[in-house]
A and B are shown apart, each in its own frame.
Chain A
């Protein structure tokens, strides 16, 4: 029997990043890791800037998601995020440079606003690098 699927849509203000039928969505919410399988109870949550994993036909795909929200309802999962990219879309050099830049800024004692911004940038870069790493190693 074919496995039961659910619809996943990932949207950012700039574009629709992902839309397809999937088996499982695994994400890190502010309260902990969540795995959403079909027929999940209605849920709304805030996501951490981290990797969201998607499983379909036994294969995992990885996606870096920044400042997201996730809603699950009627076998439809919607992720709203400031930014999101599939692992294969991420420019690893750029992410690495962004990470170094953010770390540099955190070390220098900048103003409070800059620190908040640098921290957010660091989290984003780390999520991107993690997505590439996980996709590359086949780990999930």
Chain B
């Protein structure tokens, strides 16, 4: 049976574990707040570029562009976005499971790993990755999204890939992160609601394009793809922190429970010891009489 000292040591260790969990939760909470601000700040741009692209593709009619070309999806590329670190519940494994299922459904799929967890996962399974990006940090720059999309865009335009998807964790709310698979190439020109309503009212206004619809589209399409990836990373980041917050909150509560249970057992052992000593004394006294 463990001695009193063993129990005390155990409780002390649990207490320091609890402190660490609490601290990690506090850090995750602060980082999540920041990440949410970043998501919100990026939203106007995403919405605007979507609107402009929608109107542009509507007004430009059937313009040919390599990023719009629809092919039979034989060779598919997946951009998988996870966190760099663990200790955030099922956050990473949920995405990786989704990614693995998708990749197995499309034999020979190319993979782009974003986040250390994704890279390690594929490396461990000896699945070749096309490119890997780790060490995302907290301050996600748009240029980072550009780096990630560079290879998939080039290879799609060259006809090496027939479709490109992004697998990421959609930030539904603080408690729910949804592993999501979104097609980014070929680009489906967004048909915006506002445009539809206006169409009912009358014909679309004739746009002037400087220098030409094709030229503007040529610049705008890659940027749109980058925006989608940028947004996915920001959402994934916010989701990672909220998942970690939830996980650490649970861990803090669990250590609390364990401390309670251990204390209870310790007291029982202590009580037993006292009772035994008392019995010894009483027995000893009785023997003297």
Contacts and interface: CB of A to CB of B under 8 A. Distances in A.
Interface of A: 9, 11-16, 29-32, 34, 41-46, 69, 71, 73, 78, 80, 82
Contact of A41 (B208, B213, B215, B223): B208
B287 to A, nearest CB: 86
B285 interface: no
Nearest to B42: A13
B220 interface: yes
Contacts of A12: 45, 142
Interface stretch (B23-31, B49-57, B171-179, B255-263): B49-57
B142 A42 contact: no
Contacts of A32: 210
Nearest to A43: B208
Instruction: Classify the interface of chain B: helix, strand, loop or mixed.
Output: helix
A113 B59 CA distance: 34
B227 interface: yes
Contacts of B42: 13-14
A108 B59 CA distance: 45
Contacts, number: 80
B257 to A, nearest CB: 43
A75 B103 CA distance: 47
A44 B48 contact: no
Interface of B: 41-42, 44-46, 48-49, 51-52, 55-56, 59, 142, 145, 205-211, 213, 215-216, 219-220, 223, 227, 230
Given A42-B205, A42-B207, A80-B48, 7 more contacts: A11-B48, A14-B42, A43-B209, A44-B56, A45-B209, A78-B52, A80-B45
A136 B142 CA distance: 30
A130 B142 CA distance: 24
Nearest to A70: B210
A12 B49 CA distance: 10
Given A71-B52, A82-B142, A44 B216 contact: yes
A13 B210 contact: no
B127 to A, nearest CB: 28
A73 B205 contact: yes
Contacts of B41: 14-16
B226 to A, nearest CB: 8
Contacts of B230: 13
Contacts of B44: 9, 11, 16
A15 B52 CA distance: 18
A69 B210 contact: no
A5 to B, nearest CB: 20
A11 B220 CA distance: 15
A41 B207 CA distance: 7
Given A30-B210, A43-B210, A9 B52 contact: no
A53 B208 CA distance: 21
A116 B230 CA distance: 22
19 contacts: A31-B210, A41-B206, A42-B207, A43-B209, A43-B210, A44-B52, A44-B56, A44-B59, A44-B207, A44-B213, A45-B216, A46-B210, A46-B215, A46-B216, A46-B219, A73-B55, A73-B205, A78-B52, A80-B49
